[in-house]
Structure 1
């Protein structure tokens, strides 16, 4: 019968081997926290210099963290361009405020002013059309044409008010219809409709300009021939003939310029409130 020998050395060797294997298994099971901490450290916004710590989805601190400021107005920290170093990261809120500071300038709204990289936006097409000067010019002409079309229906009262404001107001208060158009006047053609609308828009533009004049200059302006003698004729065609073409053109240009400024102002305001979501191009 063979005797089985036992020694401390063999027992300790077996135990040491088991401990080594256990340590290797535990090391393999542990998350690479040190590696993550070295790779995903604190990041600083290049505009407000606020430092944001990495935030992990679970307590194991594995995977890719997110960088979101405690201030809800700042939002996430992202890398919107190809800048490196301290210029790499910026808050979404800070970037939005920077872009909105001059929304009609491409260098701030669409591109990084440092590296020139074009921001990748989720609503680029719509906002790009809205900020285009060609689109704004087309919108201005469209509103100008719509204004002419609408004013063509109310041209006669506008002519009456401009050519004889006192008589027109007096007739309206006393319900005197003797000086209004005859009901047997032929209906105007579409060409006449748009001509009357254009003249009406010119008058509206002149009135807008006259609001910034003194009463003396206003009456002097009407006395240069624009008033047509102070009394209105019986028909709409006659009242159109009373108006000076030069002053109507000046008024129409003033109206067109006002519409252009309005379109640009509304476009800038819409771009300011249109919060495009900038795509993070960070490859880390």
Structure 2
């Protein structure tokens, strides 16, 4: 009986997230980029370039420029995604048309950095809400199926063309500052999408696994998973091997050093390797305790 309620909560959360994303993008465009003739990458960059060269209304240009990619998204992703993205892009157009944002600064370095940050926040939040404010990823996905290039290479190629045109038409300094804007925006998007707290997966192979398991759970308060494996297989004694418990756990980035020190204190020869996890949820993930 609670499922419908949860569903409505999730929909409302997505809607609010997308609206905030649209407002951030509008702020980045009208408060930083458009007044200073700066650019971004992707379809937004194309729209800004058309606005600057031909003085088209930026609100209309962004909507029209994204429509072909939204249609493409209907076939490459699904109809629901395409409709949500269309609503998102129209929302951005309305935001640009009717909301009067103040021009924050004309300092080129501040414009390139903070324009990129707010644009990245907006695009990242819209992606978290289940849609996209820029159709360049859809184009990259479409091209991926018809070429040997990766999505990153395709996006990079498209953006190189945008910035080359900007350099020729509006000058190299503007293009270079706009590249900084794009880089800042892309890093901010990654930060928003991957989550605010980065987790690290840790694998531990040790002959003292029983002690390590107990201390990980009792001292660090971490949940653990055990894989059954075998250790040995050295060059000098390839036939000598024995079963071993491979310990797997997930910790925050700040706890990695503490965990390694704990394992090293028990078994200095333990083999510990880690890899980053973009986002983790559920299971036994220790929450931060805040004092009120």
Please say whether Structure 1 and Structure 2 have the same fold, judged by a TM-score greater than 0.5.
no
Measured against the shorter chain, the TM-score band is under 0.3
- The normalised TM-score by structure 2 is 0.21
More helix, by proportion = 2
More strand per residue: 1 or 2? Answer: 2
Q: Could you tell me the TM-score, scaled by structure 1's length?
A: 0.21
Q: Based on CA coordinates, which of the two structures has the bigger radius of gyration?
A: 1
